[in-house]
Amino acid sequence: QFLRAQRMECVGALASGLAHDLNNVFSPILIATEVLADRLPDASSTSLVRMIRDSATRGSSIVRQLLAFGRGAGPSLVELPLGHLLRDMQRWGRETFPRNIQFTTQHDGDLWSVIGDPTQIHQLLLNLCLNARDAMPQGGPLTLEARNFQADEVFCRMNPDATPGPYVRFDITDAGAGIPEELREKIFDPGYTTKPPGQGTGLGLPTVRTILKSHRGFLELHSRVGEGTRFRVYLPAIARETPPRTSYPAPTPPPGQGELVLIVDDEQALCEATRHYLAQCGYSLLTARDGVEAITRFLQHQARLRLVLTDMVMPGLDGAPFIRALRRIRPDIPIIAMSGIPGQRQAAEEAGGPGLRFLEKPFAGEELLRLLQDILHAPPPASPA
């Protein structure tokens, strides 16, 4: 247990150190693909851009899960209908798995919703499907099933991790070589992998176990050497006879009206991608590469500036002291702080006060656009009677 705790601490430190750089890689990709999608004329090119965006989204999701695994970050639990998630998994498998993998998904027509964090549940299923794929280098059938399951007292006596009530049960089944008995606990140790050097991180299954623990779920492993493996996952569910009320996506935010925005980030790719995207959406932009340059630009244009978007980790004058300097110069300027490093939200809010907004990296262009609209075009507060 002590050695496992030490490994977890090392993973957490490594994850935190890498998160900033990796999220700065994914952010400009996500934003640039939105710019390209509006400019490309044909459907096939748009499909390729969507594939790039989806890959960057999955990459950023892995970074978040690595942070959650290393730091023990808690999930954001919501009621989660599973139909869209399973369709997304089916599409992802069809687009990314080799042709010799026959990937299929099956589920109950009246499948219950689970109580979970959407990103973490997606990561859990993704890791198990990737594990099953890697177990069949020569190809074979890979099945993801989701069924409603009611745990009764008898089942709970046989499964100490279960409590009576509704679950959704996921089965991820492969026809690979199987897992020997002596390795069935070891495969959940951080850093342990059966793959050749350079082909595995040893974090996939430990992350699955961490996510399940935070969701009050549990897992069963059934495997026969030479025949294949089935991971059976149970997640607490909401049993209902009628589906939850349909939610509709929010409408696309209206374009800007030439408002001047200052973007501060030492990552040139992110600055350029954000500048192109917001310019395409009707905003005027200034950019700066650190807090010192940003203060100079702010003083030159403060009468026209409507908002400042700043990174929290920069050379020279860092995000928190830069925000405090802005507040001293012009207390009413709207500020959006952005970072992908745990703990930076608190630092930003302490520096900027109640009016500061925070954007977690990596983010999509439309997410930033909605936040700008919310800040710059919100209706004025009603006058007191």
Residues 224-252 pLDDT 10s: 999 999 999 999 999 865 444 444 445 56
Q: Higher pLDDT residue, 342 or 255? A: 255
Supply the pLDDT for residue 230.
96
User: Mean pLDDT across the stretch 14-19?
Assistant: 67
Look up residue 157 and give its amino acid.
R
User: Coil, strand or helix: which one is 324?
Assistant: helix
Look up residue 280 and give its amino acid.
Q
User: Are 218 and 303 found together in one domain?
Assistant: no
User: Are 231 and 85 found together in one domain?
Assistant: yes
Query: Residue 235 corresponds to which tokens in the numbers above?
Result: 């997640």
User: Are 141 and 241 found together in one domain?
Assistant: yes
Q: Which of 223, 247, 271 is the last residue of a domain?
A: 247
Is residue 50 a part of any domain in this protein? no
Q: Report the candidate in 357, 272, 258, 274 with the shortest Cα–Cα distance to residue 306.
A: 258
Is residue 59 a part of any domain in this protein? no
pLDDT exceeds cutoff 80 at 194: no
Residue pointed to by tokens 């349909």: 246
Look up residue 81 and give its amino acid.
P
User: Are 132 and 243 found together in one domain?
Assistant: yes
Quote the distance between the C-alpha of residue 330 and its chain's center.
Answer: 34
pTM (two decimals)? 0.58
**Mean confidence (pLDDT) of the chain:** 83
Residue pointed to by tokens 């699955």: 208
Residues 60-105 pLDDT 10s: 766 766 666 555 555 667 889 998 889 888 888 887 888 899 999 9
- Residue 113 pairs in a beta bridge with 238
Is residue 7 a part of any domain in this protein? no
Tell me which residue range forms the domain holding 342: 260-376
Q: Higher pLDDT residue, 189 or 226? A: 226
Supply the pLDDT for residue 372.
93
pLDDT exceeds cutoff 60 at 174: yes
Structural domain tally of the chain? 2
pLDDT exceeds cutoff 70 at 362: yes
